[in-house]
Amino acid sequence: MRFQNMKILVTGGAGFVGSNLVNKLVEEGALVTVLDDLFTGRKENIAYLDDIEFVKGSVTNFTLLEKLMKKKQIVFNLAVRNIIVSVKSPRLDFKVNTEGTFNVLQAAKELGTEKVVYSSSASVYGNPKYLPINEDDRLSTINPYAASKLSGENYCFAFYETYRLPVSIVRYSNVFGVNQSPLNPYCGVVSKFFESIMKGEVPQIHGDGEQTRDFTYVDDVVEATLLAAVNPRAEGEVFNVGSGKETSVNELVQRIVNLTESSVKPVYIDRRDIDNIRRRVLNIEKSRRILRWTPQITLETGLKKTYHWLLENEDHCPQCIPPKVKPMKSMIG
């Protein structure tokens, strides 16, 4: 157990990725504190709520952060205002994503925290020139979210280079899976498609559906993040965390339609005005080589796990399962 009795703070730990990380840390024996303002997070996401310390508050509150970070060995910084909120309210995005990250680093420097891991995003690549995207390819901040996430990264590098603060950055691509709740209005595209298809509604695809993404299952993302925390060779480094596979939105919808045995056909609507990236797939060789990390969950298996979870947790999507077609457990295994 890599984290046995380690004192760890997770910001944004009630959110989608954060809660999966917290659950795994508890299973590995860590003593976890979560700081989350519950903007999109839900305490119910944390399976071991009774075994952790939960503090409702914001990363923008430096005094609180400093208090919570005292004697913590590792801090995972996942608190975020998401891309949709950030486009509507770039100042709030800046406050949480950039200044919040700065606060974590400043407190870590003052307190001598052993390790900070910053969860960044493949959004920092914008529309890439080449595929698959390497960590040192051109960065392009085409929306405020990408700008704030990249600013967070830049401060991580600055604190590493100037003060030798041990910090690692993990850049995730299109994460999906358990705890990505359709109740969250900003949830990812996989959850949105499951929700509409399970409700028997027509899924709406922006553009022609031939845009691609690198869909990554949350357990793989959690494992890469944990490996970045414990590997000394990860200090001062940034790692792509993706599946390394390119999937079009059309293919994704078709897979969900097949899995749910639905007969709905998607409709095509206007191109999205944010996150309007044509193609994305990450090169994950550096993560394989240094972190010794390889994604374990294929898209097909990840979608099955997500479907299973939605069926078992209908409170996340109340109209997803009409009572008369509610499947037996044995039908979905």
Please identify every residue annotated as catalytic. Answer: 145
How many residues bind ligand NAD (CB under 6 A)? The answer is 31
Q: Give, in order, the Cα–Cα distances in Å from 216 to each of 220, 222, 241, 303.
A: 7, 11, 8, 10
113 near ligand NAD (CB under 6 A) = no
Residue with tokens 């993404």: 213
Helix, strand, coil tally for the chain in percent (to 5): 45, 15, 40
Residue 219 sits at the vertex; the CA angle it makes with 218 and 222, to the nearest 5 degrees, is 85
Backbone angles phi, psi at 78, to 5 degrees: -115, -5
Which of 200/286 has CB closer to ligand NAD? 286
Question: By CB under 6 A, what part of segment 140-179 binds ligand NAD?
Answer: 149, 172, 174-175
Give least dist CB 109 to ligand NAD, A: 20
Q: Would you count residue 287 as binding ligand NAD (CB under 6 A)?
A: no
Residue 31 backbone phi and psi in degrees, to 5: -100, 105
Nearest approach in angstroms of CB 30 to ligand NAD is: 18
Residue with Cβ nearer ligand NAD (4 or 59): 59
Distance of alpha carbon 144 from alpha carbon 206, whole angstroms: 21
Closest to ligand NAD by CB, 55 or 332: 55
Measured CA to CA, the distance from residue 319 to residue 112 in angstroms comes to 49
Among 80, 117, 238, 299, binds ligand NAD (CB under 6 A): 80
Q: Which of 22, 26, 33, 36 binds ligand NAD (CB under 6 A)?
A: 36
Task: Tell which positions 219-278 bind ligand NAD, by CB under 6 A.
Answer: none
Q: What is the dihedral of CA 149, 155, 157, 162, to 10 degrees?
A: 180
Q: Which C-beta is closer to ligand NAD: that of 279 or that of 332? A: 279
Residues comprising the chain, all counted: 333
**Of residues 48, 49, 52, the one with CA closest to residue 9:** 52
Residue 84 interacts with ligand NAD (CB under 6 A): yes or no: no
User: Using CB under 6 A as the criterion, which residues of the chain lie in contact with ligand NAD when the complex forms?
Assistant: 11-12, 14-18, 35-41, 58-60, 78-82, 96, 100, 119, 121, 149, 172, 174-175, 188
